Amino acid sequence: MTSIENLNKTLGNILLIWSISCIIVGIALYFFSFDPLLQGIGFEAMLWGLINLVIAYKLLKRKEHVLEKIRRELSISLGLDLIYPIIGLPLIFLGQDAYLVGNGYGIIIQGAFLLVLDLSYHRRFKQLA
């Protein structure tokens, strides 16, 4: 297995663990909390967990490990990671109810994690070039 394949597999496994954790925590917060703020965070955790589960699956099933393609995908992800706070912050500061504020916090939490993960792996893949 090449260094590119190893890095891709590690990235996929980290995202897989994160996504499953988010789904579990999201279910607990959304369905078993009576606090609308926590329910909003839980909803975002479940939603992002499901999306990241699909992405992790695709990473782990990737057949073709082209360094430039992976780096380009991570660059796009980094750009998106920087946009997420633009979506989350207004919900926090302008949200009319606690549920919307919770959604804003949930978006910020997910975006922050993905920013750190994507930046870390973008640098690692860049070192292979």
Domain residue spans of the chain: 3-128
| Residue 19 pLDDT greater than 90, yes or no | yes
* Residue 47, φ and ψ in degrees, nearest 5: -60, -50
**pTM summary value:** 0.93
pLDDT of residue 124: 96
Give per-residue burial for 29-56: e unless 16+ CB within 10 Å, then b: bbeeeeeebbbbbbbbbbbbbeebbebb
pLDDT of residue 107: 98
User: pLDDT tens for residues 77-86?
Assistant: 999 999 999 9
| Residue 1 pLDDT greater than 80, yes or no | no
